[in-house]
Amino acid sequence: MTDRTAQEWKRWLRGCAAAVALLAMPVLLSPQAADAATVPVRGGTHKDFGRLVFDWPGKVDYTASVEGDRLVVTFTDSIDAPLDRLVRALPGYLAAGRVEADGKTVSFDLKRPVSLKSFRNGNAIAIDLSPAAPQTAAKAEDAKPEPAKAEAAKPAPTAGRLRVRGADQPDQSRLTFEWPSPVGYTVTRDGAAVTVAFDKGGTADLSAVSKAALRNIRNVEAYRRADGALAVTLAVPQDAEVTDSASGKAVVLSVGNPGSRAGLPKSDGAQPAAGSQGTAAGQGSSQGSSQPAPAKETAREGGRDTPTMASATSGRSAIAANAAAPHSAANAAAPNTPPAEAKAAPAAPADAKAQPVAGPKGPVLTFDTGGPASIAVYPRAGQLYVVFDRPMPIGAGKLSGPGAELMGAVEPVPATGGSVFRTKIGPMVWPTVERQGTTWRILSSARPANMGSTGDLRVEPDPDFLLGARLLVRAPDAANIVQFADPDVGDRIQVVPLPSPGQGVPEPHRYPDLEVMPSYQGVVVRPISDNVTVRAIKEGVELTTAGGLHLSPAADAGNPAVAPPPPAPPPGPASAPQPVPSQMAAAPLPVTPPPGGASSAMEPPKAQPAQMQGRRLFNLPAWKHGDLDHFTEARQDLQLAVVNAPESERPKAQLDLARFYFANGFGQETLGMLDVLQQNQPDLEGWPEFRALRGAARVLTGDLDGAEADLSIPSLAGNPEANLWRAAIAADRRDWPKAMAGFKASGPILNSYPEPMIGKLGLRAAEAALETRDTGTAKRLFDRVIEHSGPDQEENPQTQYLRGLLFAQTGEIDQAREQLTAAYNSYDRLYRAKAGLALTNLELSEGKMSPTAAAEQLAGLTFTWRGDDLEMQIRSRMGEVLIAGGEYAKGFNTMKETAALVADTPRAEAITKEMSRIFADLFKDGAQRLPTLDALQLYDQFRELTPVGEAGDEIIRQLAERLISIDLLNRAADLLQHQVEYRLSGLDKARVGTRLASVRLLDNKPEEALKALELSNVAGLPADLTAERRLMQAKALAELNRGDEAMQLLAQDDSTNANLLRVDIAWKGQKWDAAALALNKVIGPPPATGKPLDPNMSQLVLNRAVALALAGDGNGLNLLKKDFEGSMKGGPNEDAFRILTRPEQAMGLIDVGTIRSRVAEVDMFKKFLKEYRGGKQAGDKPTS
């Protein structure tokens, strides 16, 4: 099977697996832990990667891994985060997110294969997702030795999912890798970084490790090596001993406590862990386990330790005379080296000369990246530049070894997308780049005798590429692009770091638009044109400009078109897809189709400048191939051209057919042809012209999210034609101001469009103008559309509906009603519903339709059109009309159901706000327009609409007062109780609490009154409110037969209301002298002679006479008669006063029972309670 066929087979399997997963996987809702931390999240899509950031409030540990088609991140603490925000922020990478059942693990469904990198920034944890490069043939360091040449090893086999467990023991922490089958492995260590590299691929489940929170092991991460094999990195204490062992299918890594390491290495190089290589039982080992001791002895050379895992290196110079020097350790395995160790070191070719030992004879530049990272190294202007694709601290680079002092300091260079460092080249003339775990080392080595290297990257011109000439650098592991300005030269450099050592460009490649600079490692590009684009794609690194590079066609240069390395002959007759050999970036020009239907519009542009921002994207008149009368003929010609075209020319014909469909308004057919093109050339995704055509076609099909993603890429951000189609998206989303701004800015382009595009976009623009009340622009747009489309356009229901809106805005009501009625009576259900809504609003505003009739009309429209924002508009309007007609419950229920149908959307939020506004307006006076019981029922049903703050508090108080007025004291108290407990604080809480106490007293619940006062007790109350609360407390105590406590509470209060309360307390306790005294203070001095008393004061005087009589105070009765006899004459209490104050009564001759039979018992304080409203004083003249 060829490499290409294998890739197609894998792609097919991945597609089937994704489809099955989407159809069969249930959606699980994970319960959140009760103590989960609320973690804000951020996300964004960058040019070459997407980034997720978890802004934890404190520091937590984590693990992150890609498991199949899922991204899994496990934290040591429970998490509660809005994961949907990340899904929306990274639509090209994430499909859905969830918090798993343990509350600490979040997982996302991935839309595409990705490579993962993660790092910390303070408490924040960032995870970068980059499109994963396909697995390539193994690198030179893993090559299987042959007599004549080094051949790349086969990709590592995949063993599936493996479980990783962690546990702490008193003297160590332990990691156990449980593989489904025996596996070989190596362990390397560099300081605090330990890497376990397996010889099989697999998916490591690290969730249990993060939960274990191991004492001696931190930051466990899994990543895939260049050959697809699994590697796991972790951080351990510097002075901890690391050992490993294998048992059956399990590999165990043990990390001792700090201080357990016998002696630290003296070398700056990476040191191996004990037993640095192992072979699981049953896999080539006669003893069934790893043998650490022999491996360690073998690794010792010349009195110092060397890494027992052979490192892949690059030792080429950046010029033609420099080539890779094989790593000495790879060729010098001792006779007693274990088989696994010997296999790890690639053998030199049979005819190769002995190579000098690289490494310790010169300076060594070391970087510990702390995790998987890619690197680029290149020389320029006497400086050695080192570029990483991840953030690194300023002091990350460390120089050591002989001659290090000649290189100077390692200084950082400001960059975007990664980190850049530089130092003087000094004696490092023939650098060798090697990686061990997460540590990169750049060593000075001797001049190599063999100047060639199998790791040299090929730079291949592709002048016949569909979207413009390009260069392709064959580096399939490329992922991120790092950009920076050269501090000395000042030009802008774009660098692509690579993860596998030994991949560089030995010689410079110069072209009119750019230069590929020589490098020891990675791809370094110096743009010459202003708009050079460097991007990582499946085949490697693509270098191009908008419109294509200036390269000679392959036919003129005598070179074949770029193609993947030739595979073995395919097993079957099916041929691999050919690269698309055509241009799409050039501005389209009107052409006459040649006989047979094939278009010549795809000829490569003749050195046209590549300026995307201002040029046209679509040449619709040429793409239409005539009017509708010739549509079928033109379509058949173009379809025939696709069938008859040779393989190399077929993409041109397919693109012509796609453009034809688009120019004639067939969006789905356009997308179908573009999908066929993209299957043969996946890199089309990165070309602005392709994205523009697909985005516009998606607008026609209603795929607004996909259209926005295509038309919003940076290279189309300033293009006026792309802006026109973005305005159409805004119009379809009813974002009228944004739509109108876009249509106005791109007006000349819209005016140049032929039918049917002028109709499709022109009517959208007219609707935007009407919604923004720009009737002049709307009328001009209608005229232009009808001019291009002919008189038949006036019978279009969309045109009739929009013209009806125009006439309504200009006050031409009869014409508006005529146009809207015509659209309503059409067979187009969409515009029947739209026109019905507009017609109902028009009749309501004119007073020609009652709210009840309008509600019935709108209810019928909900069956005409369902399932999108228009239905929600109709339902919302129906609710408003029902409320306007007095059917409040029905109206609120309709609006509530509508909001539920579009939950978690801006429409739902707008409906809820409108409901709250209507509710607040209705209840601002206690819903006086409704009967009290109806108002209470409506409030209970929709109490969640009560506004927050003072407005809502006032609504509750008003409703409570209405309930008190009809003696529904218990319901009123419930409303006030809820306010005091949950809504109020401070002074407002104290006032409403006092009112609640008064209601409880009126309801004869003194104990509840005391609780209300206690619940609302706050410090710093004004004097008047303190006095009122004291009166309420005294009254409640008196009702509980605790009169003495009540009197003591009122001892310092000589107010009128306090004396009234004293009267009640004394009367109830039959303390007549105290009652008479309090009444005397309330009544005050007698009125002027001949002035009658008002009924209230007359009742108070009579009550004092009763108290004096019952106390047997004759002198008091005589004085009372003297002062008030004249004022009591002619009043309602004259006879009773005369009886109580006659002489025999004053002498104590009237029986007490007679008095009680003549005068009823009094409650002086009750009137005060009834008149109390909280924060307002009762009247100055109290009554009985």
Confidence grade of residue 1051 (pLDDT, cut at 50, 70, 90): confident
How far is the CA of 3 from the CAs of 565, 581, 948, in angstroms?
Answer: 9, 21, 66
Which of these three, 302, 324, 352, is where a domain ends? Answer: 352
C-alpha to C-alpha distance for 880 and 897, rounded to whole angstroms? 13
Q: Do 888 and 905 belong to one domain?
A: yes
Question: Do 1020 and 1085 sit in the same domain of this protein?
Answer: no
* Whether the Cβ atoms of residue 585 and residue 550 lie closer than 8 Å to each other: no
User: Per mean pLDDT, which of 144-153, 186-195, 553-562, 732-741 is the most reliable?
Assistant: 732-741
Sign of CA dihedral 723, 725, 731, 733: negative
Domain that holds residue 1017: 948-1049
161 and 55 in a single domain? The answer is no
Residues 981 and 1079 in one domain: no
In a domain, 839, yes or no: no
Place of tokens 């209810």: 859
Residue range 71-99: mean pLDDT, rounded: 89
- Please report whether residue 286 resides in a domain: yes
Asked if the model's pLDDT at residue 14 lies above 70, the reply is no
Q: What is the pLDDT of residues 117-144, one digit of tens each?
A: 888 877 889 898 988 765 433 333 443 4
Q: Are strands 193-198 and 184-190 parallel, antiparallel or unpaired?
A: antiparallel
Look up the CATH number of the domain holding residue 117: 2.60.40.3500
Residue 280: its pLDDT value, please? 41
**Structure tokens that stand for 43 in this block:** 């996300």
- What is the bridge-based pairing of β-strands 94-99 and 70-75? unpaired
Kindly tell me if the per-residue pLDDT of 599 is higher than 50: no
Looking at the predicted structure, is the pLDDT value of residue 1010 above 70?
yes
Rounded to an integer, the average pLDDT of 201-223 is 84
Which residues on adjacent β-strands are paired with residue 189?
Answer: 194, 271
Name the domain boundary from 131, 158, 178: 131
Is residue 93 a contact partner of residue 114, using CB atoms and an 8 Å limit?
yes
Report the chain's mean pLDDT, rounded to a whole number. 75
Write down the pLDDT at residue 1174: 53
pLDDT tens digits along 1124-1169: 777 778 777 777 777 777 765 545 445 555 565 554 455 556 556 6
In the prediction, which pLDDT does 995 show?
Answer: 80
Per-residue pLDDT at 850 exceeds 90: no
Asked if 501 and 314 count as a contact pair (C-beta separation under 8 A), the reply is yes
Given this model, what pLDDT does residue 613 score? 56
Integer CA distances (angstroms), 156 to 139, 181, 498, 972, in order: 12, 14, 19, 77
| CA angle, 331 then 333 then 335, to 5° | 140
The domain that contains 970 carries what CATH number?
A: 1.25.40.10
pLDDT reported for residue 796: 80
CA distance 64 to 953: 49
Task: Taking residues 161-174, report their average pLDDT.
Answer: 90
- CA 258 to chain CA mean position, Å: 41
Looking at the predicted structure, is the pLDDT value of residue 468 above 80?
no
Q: Tell whether the model's pLDDT for residue 756 goes beyond 60.
A: yes
pLDDT at 581: 32
What Cα–Cα distance (Å) separates residue 73 from each residue in 45, 98, 106, 774? 19, 11, 5, 52
Question: Is residue 560 assigned to a domain?
Answer: no
Which pLDDT value is given to residue 598?
35
> Which backbone phi and psi does 153 adopt, to 5 degrees?
-75, 160
Candidates 808, 809, 780; CA nearest to 821 is 808
The alpha carbon dihedral of 278, 281, 282, 287 has a sign of positive
| Helices and strands (H and E) in the chain: how many | 40, 40
537 has a pLDDT exceeding 90: no
Is residue 495 within 8 A of residue 376, CB to CB? The reply is yes
CATH number of residue 701's parent domain = 1.25.40
Report which residue type is found at 971: R
User: Is the pLDDT at 953 greater than 50, yes or no?
Assistant: yes
Per-residue pLDDT, averaged over 641-663, amounts to: 89
Residues 917 and 1006 occupy one common structural domain? no
The Cα–Cα gap between 934 and 969 comes to 16
Cα 422 to Cα 314, 317, 480: the distances in Å are: 19, 17, 19
Contact of 388 with 497, CB cutoff 8 Å: yes
> For residue 153, what is the DSSP state?
P
Q: Are 470 and 462 in contact (CB under 8 A)?
A: yes
173 plus 309 within the same structural domain: yes
The reported pLDDT for the residue numbered 282 is 37
More confident residue, 276 or 1023: 1023
Query: Measured between alpha carbons, how far is 718 from 614 in angstroms, rounded to an integer?
Result: 7
Tell me the average pLDDT across 619-630: 86
The reply to whether 503 and 487 lie within a common domain is: yes
pLDDT tens-digit map of 314-353: 443 333 333 333 333 333 333 333 333 333 334 334 343 3
> What are the pLDDT digits (tens) for 217-244?
987 877 777 677 888 888 888 788 999 9
The total number of structural domains that make up the chain = 7
If pLDDT is split at 50, 70 and 90, which confidence band does 1078 have? confident
**Mean pLDDT value across residues 1026-1046:** 81
Q: Given this model, what pLDDT does residue 112 score?
A: 87
Determine how β-strand 459-462 pairs with β-strand 439-444.
unpaired
Q: Supply the pLDDT for residue 649.
A: 82
Average pLDDT over residues 413-418: 92
How large is the average pLDDT for residues 569-584? 37
Indicate if 202 and 301 belong to the same structural domain: yes
Task: Please check whether residues 614 and 704 belong to one and the same domain.
Answer: yes
8 Å CB contact between 334 and 351: no
Q: Say if residue 1181's pLDDT is above 60.
A: no
Whether residue 988 is found in the same domain as residue 1044: yes
pLDDT, tens digit, for every residue of 959-981? 777 777 777 777 778 878 887 88
Average pLDDT score over residue span 645-649: 82
Task: Say if residue 856 is exposed, middle or buried (CB neighbours under 10 Å; 0-12, 13-18, 19+).
Answer: middle
Instruction: Report whether 863 contacts 833 (CB < 8 A).
Output: no
CA distances to 269, 754, 768, 771, 910 from 739, in Å: 62, 21, 6, 10, 20
Residue 483's pLDDT is what? 94
- Please check whether residue 680 is in contact with residue 580, taking contact to mean a CB–CB distance below 8 angstroms: yes
Lowest mean pLDDT among 568-572, 1052-1056, 1108-1112: 568-572
* Portion of the chain with pLDDT greater than 90, in percent: 16
Residue 820 lies in a domain: no
Give the model's pLDDT for residue 1157. Answer: 52
The pLDDT of residue 419 is: 94
Burial 1098-1118 (b: 16+ CB within 10 A, else e): bbbbbbbbbbbbbbebbebbe
Q: State pLDDT tens for residues 85-97.
A: 898 888 888 988 8
pLDDT at 471: 92
1034 shares its domain with 1059: no
Phi and psi at residue 1027, in whole multiples of 5°?
Answer: -65, -40
Average pLDDT over residues 486-495: 90
Task: Identify the top-confidence range among 295-304, 716-725, 1035-1044, 1055-1064.
Answer: 716-725
Listed ranges 1-5, 98-102, 952-956; the one with the highest mean pLDDT = 98-102
- Which candidate, 929, 984, 931, places its Cα nearest to that of 956? 984
Structure letter (DSSP) for residue 627: -
Mean pLDDT, residues 523-541 taken together:
88
Task: Among 1033, 1049, 1065, identify where a domain stops.
Answer: 1049
pLDDT digits (tens, 9 = 90+) for 777-818: 888 887 888 777 777 777 788 888 888 888 888 888 888 888
Amino acid (1-letter code) at residue 108: F
Give yes or no for residue 268 having a pLDDT over 60. no
518 located within any domain: yes
**pLDDT for the residue numbered 823:** 83
Residue 1037 and residue 1092 in one domain: no
What is the crossing angle of helices 869-884 and 906-923, to 10°? Answer: 0
Span of 269-273, 327-331, 514-518, 946-950 with lowest mean pLDDT: 327-331
Residue at 559 is within a domain: no
Contacts of residue 767, Cβ cutoff 8 Å, sequence gap at least 6: 731, 802, 805
Cis check: omega of the bond before 756, within 30 degrees of 0: yes
Range list of β-strands (E), 139-192: 158-169, 172-178, 184-190
Give the residue with greater pLDDT, 532 vs 353: 532
pLDDT of residue 352: 39
302 located within any domain: yes
Inter-residue contact 234 to 217 (CB < 8 Å)? yes
The verdict on residue 438 lying in a domain is no
Q: Which helix (H) or strand (E) holds 813?
A: helix 813-824
